[in-house]
Structures are given as structure tokens and as C-alpha cells.
Amino acid sequence: MPSLRENSQRIKRFRELKATLRTDRTRLLVGIDVAKAEHGVHLRHAHTRIVAPTLTIPNTTRGFTQLWVRIQQAQRATGCREVVCGLEPTGTYHQALATFLEGQGADVVLISSSVAYWNRRTQDGTWDKNDRKDAANCADLLEQGKILFASQPTGPLAELRRLVKLLRRARTELAACKARWRTALRPSLAPMGEPLPNRLRAELPTVLQAWERPTRGAPAQPRGRLPLGLATACADLGAQVTAVQARITTIEAALTPLAARLPAYALLRTIPGIGSTVGAILVAEIGDVAWFTKFSQLRKLAGLDIVRVQTGQYAGQWRISKCGRGLLRWALYQAAGGLARTAPGRARLATLKAKRHGDRFAGFKAMVELAAKQLRLVWGVWRSGTPYDPRRTGGLRRQPR
């Protein structure tokens, strides 16, 4: 169901709300605890009084209509003209309600689950959790202005995000297959500290043979040396891997023509290290660069922002937060890996490693910095609307954070 307002208008409204929610007393705040069967609702006149501490509505169209009737009654009682609804997203159960409320003219924002977790304890000083407390917690965070933008993409971007979710699920299944091979089946064939003999490697399905390097000597022929149970387990895993790899190939083939309909995709493809699949994932995960006002916001979305524990004279090691969108961070690592295979990228990576001489995590930290560099290039190219030009961007020289 399409949004009634364009995201460009909604982001402007969101920034206005975030700046004024802490002080404005003329709004009716609606905290909603989202669930599968029914939602908990808390109505509050901002910074003034609680209008309805507990309401329960079914997750149906009739329930949505009953909620809006109650909100209109509260508006007449308080004199508030603006309605702001804060939802803590639970899977996709909040989408139908969010679309309905936007259609009625209310402003809909999201509440971070991690922020709600820590703020819930401040409500009454207890550790318990229930629907009534969760709804009041959402309304309290609305008063504090601790909200997130609720994007509702439509058209090619919405379809691209669905395909990216399918791709992430398929890649997760492929990673699980690899873990099963390393932890359950491969140790049963030979010690992990030595390569798999060719006579045993030949007994494996082709997709599993690709995960093991052949040893020196003439290639062996399969002769049924494996026990029946182990051979059946390897054949079953090989069939799973083949099916998952076929799904990944099909999804990636569908990603490219869909992403090509978005102007940003062609711009990102001009950046070294960004291929067709990675470019489609970047566009799907970021959405629209106009939603962000500064680069640090985009870096937080990718979970590449730097965090460090510091107190008094103690200062711990820096690390990345790993918050935000994990798939976006994975795509940036892939782009950094592609960049590292080029001559300028190898030189840049060697320089970063040399700066961290003696650090056992030097390679990983260098790749993190290279991924952050890729993200900054994405930011600059997308914001400017012009293709990547090393003469204009300064090539691979380090840019200020």
C-alpha cells in the first residue's frame, strides 16, 4: 500500500518533530506497543498529563478504526491538533497500522528497540516488562524526542529491498552450510590440521570439493570409500549448497535490472570496488542519501562509527559499534575487498597496515578503515550526483572524518 506523502516531505517533517518534541505542549502523543494479535496504546498530552494510560486494540482494520475514534476524542478533550504516533517496530506487524495512521493525517515515527530496552527500567525502577509499560515507554521516548525516521519506500526501491532480504536469507543459509561442513563433516574425514587426501576429496560432491584444495599428486577417482552414513550426509549437504547457490544466482540476476531503474545505482557503479550486486545492496540499504544531513549519520547506519570506553585516565581500545544495518556493513567490506585488489587499493591497504605495525588486528582494522573510505566515497558521489572522478575526489588519499 503506497504512502500518502513522499519520503522527501516526511523527512522534513521528521526533522521538525525531532527538534521540537522536547518542548512543544500542543501535541497528542500516542505510544503503541506493537504485537501480532493486538496492540497496546498509551495516549498522552505532551508534557501535560496522561489521557489514556491503557488501551488494547486488535490488529485488524476495525481495531485501527476504533483507535482513531479514540484519538479524535482525546484531541477534542485536549485541544491538540497534531497527533504523533511512536511505534516500536516488531517484524512487519507495524506496517499496516503505520500506513493507516498516516492516511488519517497523523505523524508516524519509530522507537529504537535498544533505546526502549534501557529506558523501560526508568519508568518505575523495576525490571519487569508488560504491554502496558511498553506503550507508556514509547510515549515517554516521544516526549524526549528519541525517535527514528519511519521510511516507507515505494516503487523500485521497495521491491529492491524485498529482493535484498531474500539474498541475505540465502547467504545466511549458505554460511550455515559452510559451518556444518567445517564443524561436523570435514573433521570426520581427516584431521583439520592437514589437507584432505585426494582419494577422499574425490568422493565428495563437486560443490564440497571446491571448498577443499587438492593435494599434490595425480587426481583420484571415486571408488565408494566413504561409509554409507557419512557419504549420505555429504551428498545431502552438497544438494543443499547447490540449491542455495542457485537461489543466490537467481536473486542476484533479478537485482541488477531493478536497481538500474534507480539513478543512484549508476553513480555508485563508477566507484572502484563496487560491482553490480554490492551496488544494488548499497542502494537498497541506504534508501536515499537525502535522508541524512551529515556523513556521521550514514556511518552510524552502517555500524562503522568508532566507540571507545574512556573514564578518568583510562582509555580503552577503539572499535566499531556494529550497530545499524549489518548487510550494509557487509557490502562495504566486499567493496573494500574489491578495492584492495586494485593497485591503488593495495598501496592504501599496505599503508594502513604499516601504521598499525605490531598490532595483531592490523589487517582487520585496515579493512575497516578502507570500508569507511568506501562509504565516504558513496556519500560524496551520491550527494553530488556526479560519477566518481579520482582527480576530483583526490583518489585514495585519506579524507577527514
Question: Band of the pLDDT at 218, cuts 50, 70, 90?
Answer: low
Please, which residues bridge with residue 85 across strands?
Answer: 30, 108
Question: Band of the pLDDT at 7, cuts 50, 70, 90?
Answer: confident
CB 276 within 8 A of CB 270: no
Cell digits of residue 134: 511498553
Most confident of 73-82, 86-95, 185-194, 304-313: 73-82
397 pLDDT more than 80: no
Please give the mean pLDDT across all residues of the chain.
Answer: 87
Distances, alpha carbon 3 to alpha carbons 6, 11, 218, 292, 364, in Å = 7, 13, 64, 20, 42
Residue range 331-362, pLDDT digits in tens:
999 988 887 777 667 776 677 666 666 666 66
Q: Where are the beta strands (DSSP E) in 34-135?
A: 38-45, 49-58, 82-88, 107-110
